[in-house]
Chains A and B, each alone.
Chain A
């Protein structure tokens, strides 16, 4: 592409991929996808993948022939093999770099032709480009070929040790600071990550792919991790510990007596603090809960605690116990601070290394050192208004006449996606982040993790309350299963409009296949084991391509009281 007209397709593509040329189709499928998808994100042309008739006597005029899904798969597979061949023969020590070896790939003619077609439309104004069916067809072809070629990207060693494609993807992911699988596309211009769900309702750009997701480089920084852990079974068991079991009103306090004025509105800041749990008590209670869980199930995969459940010191103790048992640990942290500012920060931690087969051995004998856990900060502050102060019976501690904001620093928003054990890709959200899904919604929906865990400091997890509504949104699109968990202390404190409280519904499960389940603690139970089962389902892209029944959905399979 030579001359650049302002507002033209050429100008846009040259921004995304500097130096793009009609006779030099990029060899790396995620790069091609990034170009095609960003164009379609701008001009909306992808909607034409579903044909519309003109009238009762006019048949729809589809963009693609009947055998398009098969053709796309064949081209994608050929492309994948070509990449593998180039890397296998040319990349390595004493040979070419992975990037240079990729340049020697024999890109399939179908891909090159579609690329050339797009480039031939270089002078078309981007805003007027959508009605051009030839261009749109080529863009969807490129997106779909790249999608088929990228099967299993970021999801472990799908193709085995000989799948050099996966190795190259990992290299590029690390070089892009775990934000994108692209090679030539700067992560500040477009990001491409893996994917677990294709929306089956509505029609968006996300409807067009099974394996690649376009994440625009806005304010949220996604992080993709692919943990090398043993394959998870078809059954998962999560130990849910709704700590603290009691919440005292005095644990909620205004930070100081200064009213913060922002414009005409008055606010106060509040904090939640409680007495630390004695080490011996913590070890005893956590150990007992794990032991009770193992009396009911032979394998335990994760221990989950709510928002603000543990202090940093308590986390360290719990983490070692989890490591010893080979169980993942997810918990909200009360007293974390932002590294850069030193300000208090509501966060969660996730220790995934414990899932590795060598987890126990990773604890150095005689040392307190454990592998680092992942930390994620809360994206939105909790705001306690009059209604909530009354709901939680906090009127003796917090002023009902003012809005009370959680004293938590908000830093650059990030969300992690962790793929573990061959089929589970999960993310964690903290309380408000489930309700106020902007600005992470776009990234979260693009990737569509098959499990979202929401850690809450909230009332009972009833199907009629807000958390169930927002869980339903994610279960509907992109199709994620959602677990919400609050503390027993907050659940019991919560009063409904008639003043009735004491609910023991501490968690809620939502999946797209079997719907909603309230999880209630029985009698004197202090926790429970939530069992999940993996089910396979078939999903289709909007252009009619099947994923071969490879969509894995965690579904509810039982609750055992401790």
Chain B
């Protein structure tokens, strides 16, 4: 039973919110990134990882998907 995109949303939520709280170092970030299962998830993760200020289109992605779960 696949819930890959749903699961990736949960991982990305954690990345976005822990990064916002400045709790993530490089090793934690990579641990979370390695959990992603979809191409979409990996793309959003790269955007999150590389942009200190997300581009407008990334911001849209984040708003829509990546803060859905508590962290």
Chains A and B are bound partners:
yes
Decide if B44 is an interface residue (CB 8 Å cutoff): no
Decide if A38 is an interface residue (CB 8 Å cutoff): no
Q: Chain A: interface secondary structure?
A: mixed
A157, closest chain B residue (CB): B70
Do the beta carbons of B10 and A225 come within 8 Å of each other?
yes
Partner of B18, one of A157, A171, A412: A171
Do the beta carbons of B35 and A98 come within 8 Å of each other?
no
Which residues of the other chain, B, contact A414 by a CB distance below 8 angstroms? 1
Decide if A219 is an interface residue (CB 8 Å cutoff): no
Q: A171-B14, A373-B6, A377-B1 are in contact. Are A91 and B69 (CB under 8 A)?
A: no
Decide if A170 is an interface residue (CB 8 Å cutoff): yes
A side interface size, CB within 8 A: 50
Q: In the assembly, what is the distance between CA of A353 and CA of B69, in Å?
A: 9
Do the beta carbons of A164 and B23 come within 8 Å of each other?
yes
Q: In the assembly, what is the distance between CA of A331 and CA of B16, in Å?
A: 30
Decide if B31 is an interface residue (CB 8 Å cutoff): yes
Decide if B5 is an interface residue (CB 8 Å cutoff): yes
A369 to chain B, nearest CB (A): 9
Q: In the assembly, what is the distance between CA of A177 and CA of B2, in Å?
A: 13
Q: Chain B: interface secondary structure?
A: helix
Which residues of the other chain, B, contact A377 by a CB distance below 8 angstroms? 1
Which residues of the other chain, B, contact A170 by a CB distance below 8 angstroms? 14, 17-18, 69-71
Do the beta carbons of B2 and A375 come within 8 Å of each other?
yes
Decide if B7 is an interface residue (CB 8 Å cutoff): yes
Partner of B68, one of A174, A353, A375: A353
Do the beta carbons of A95 and B70 come within 8 Å of each other?
no
Decide if A343 is an interface residue (CB 8 Å cutoff): no
Do the beta carbons of A91 and B25 come within 8 Å of each other?
yes
Q: Interface readout for A58-100 with B: 1 if CB under 8 Å, 0 if not?
A: 0000000000000000000000000000010001111111110
Tell me which of B1, B18, B26, B67 has the highest count of chain A C-beta atoms within 10 A of its own C-beta. Answer: B1
Residues of A within 8 A of B (CB): 87, 91-99, 156-157, 161, 164, 166-168, 170-171, 174-175, 177-178, 223, 225-228, 338-340, 345, 347, 353, 356, 358, 361-362, 364, 371-377, 411-412, 414, 419
**28 cross-chain CB contacts under 8 A:** A93-B24, A95-B25, A97-B25, A98-B23, A98-B24, A161-B21, A166-B71, A167-B21, A167-B23, A168-B23, A170-B71, A171-B18, A171-B71, A174-B11, A225-B10, A226-B71, A340-B2, A345-B1, A353-B68, A358-B63, A361-B64, A362-B64, A371-B9, A372-B5, A375-B1, A375-B2, A377-B1, A412-B1
